[in-house]
Amino acid sequence: MIYTADPTQPPIAINDRYQSLLPANSRPLEHALAGATAKLEPIPVPFDTIWDVDTAPDSLLPYLAYAWSVDEWNDNWTAETKRQVIRDSLWVHERKGTLSAVKRSLSAMNYDASIIEWFQKSPRGKAGTFSVEVHPTTGIIADNILQIRAMIDAVKRLSAHYDVYLGYTLPAVIAAYAVPVVGVELTVST
């Protein structure tokens, strides 16, 4: 039996068992598959590029996120946001259950989060709760509230309950000016 994977290459004879690492009692189909995949070996695969967050093609970022166990993913994010979420994944997984992991995961999604724990509230809140104030750093809330809550749920302590408040931070300048005034009096007579 002869198997030809590429017409430009000489055929691989299945009976040539010296080319395969398969045991002698392997079935002919297994040898045919081994011969077919042997043709794939010369294809260069840039593993150093694919597994690097900064150099991986944008089309491969969802697979890289899956490999790095990213908890929440949105295909509508910008490429830089996707890369930042992947970069922060290991740090967040090491600190899951802490409020700093909540802040870091939201900051990777381009949100500035301030967290107020129950004992910092006035009057004190219910023990074990916290509030999250989410402000977009770009001025636009790109995700819906369900995705923001899903991200918080993925990294917070399981026994903690929380409230989410969305807000915008508007830059404003308050200035007071003192201008010396020189007056001129005008008299109009008719």
Cα gap 106→84, rounded to integer Å: 11
Give the pLDDT confidence score for residue 17 in this predicted structure: 43
The pLDDT tens digits of the residues spanning 10-69 come to 555 545 444 667 888 889 898 888 888 877 777 788 888 889 999 999 999 999 999 999
Following DSSP, what letter does each residue of 82-108 receive, concatenated? HHHHHHHHHHHHHTTTSHHHHHHHHHH
Q: Kindly list the distances between the CA atom of residue 188 and the CA atoms of 23, 29, 127, 185, in Å, as whole numbers in the listed order.
A: 117, 112, 75, 10
Same domain, 102 and 27: no
- Reference 28, options 13, 40, 41; nearest CA is 13
Q: Is residue 23 part of a domain?
A: yes
**And the tokens for 70?**
């990213």
Residue 183 pLDDT greater than 90, yes or no? no
Q: How many CA atoms lie within 13 A of 85 on its CB side?
A: 25
Same domain, 106 and 158: yes
Same domain, 133 and 151: yes
pLDDT band at 147 (very low <50, low <70, confident <90, very high): confident
Q: Is residue 126 part of a domain?
A: yes
pLDDT band at 111 (very low <50, low <70, confident <90, very high): confident
Same domain, 70 and 25: no
Cα gap 92→148, rounded to integer Å: 15
Same domain, 24 and 89: no
Range of the domain at 102: 47-166
Residue 76 pLDDT greater than 70, yes or no? yes
Same domain, 92 and 27: no
Q: Which residues contact 83 (CB under 8 A, 6 or more apart)?
A: 53, 54, 61
pLDDT band at 184 (very low <50, low <70, confident <90, very high): low
Give the pLDDT confidence score for residue 49 in this predicted structure: 86
> Cα angle at 102 between 96 and 108, to 5 degrees?
110
Give the pLDDT confidence score for residue 175 in this predicted structure: 64
What percentage of residues in the chain have a pLDDT greater than 70? 76
Q: Is residue 172 part of a domain?
A: no
Following DSSP, what letter does each residue of 115-153 receive, concatenated? EEEGGGSSS---TTEEEEEEEESSSS--S-HHHHHHHHH
Q: Is residue 9 part of a domain?
A: yes
Same domain, 61 and 15: no
Give the pLDDT confidence score for residue 18 in this predicted structure: 42
Same domain, 97 and 133: yes
Same domain, 34 and 57: no
Give the pLDDT confidence score for residue 37 in this predicted structure: 80
Domain count, the chain: 2
Q: Is residue 185 part of a domain?
A: no
Strands 2-3 and 12-13: antiparallel
